[in-house]
Amino acid sequence: NMGAWTYVRPLLTSTLRSVHPGHEFRIQYAGRHPSASPATGSSMVHQLEQEEVIASALLI
């Protein structure tokens, strides 16, 4: 999952511009920072990361 955003972003931007010509879109990533492991291994750290992701997504 750590490369999907760089693949999806241009496709999503292109689609939005096709559907809504003339509008400018600012799309941002809201998710975990890149990491070698898919999970933290700690439920407390995982919960904190989840809260940060949700807060970040809602602020965009």
| pLDDT tens string 2-59 | 678 889 999 999 999 999 999 988 888 888 877 777 777 889 998 998 898 899 888 8
Largest CA-CA distance found in the chain, in angstroms, rounded: 46
Question: Residue 2: its pLDDT value, please?
Answer: 63
Q: Across the chain, where does the E strand assignment appear?
A: none
Tally of domains in the chain: 1
Question: Residue 12: its pLDDT value, please?
Answer: 94
Question: Residue 34: its pLDDT value, please?
Answer: 79
CA atoms of 26 and 2, how far apart (whole Å): 21
Whether 52 contacts 30, CB under 8 Å:
no
Question: Residue 18: its pLDDT value, please?
Answer: 95
Domain of residue 48: give its range.
Answer: 4-59
The vertex-7 CA angle with 5 and 10, nearest 5°, equals: 95
Number of residues in the chain: 60
pTM (2 d.p.): 0.60
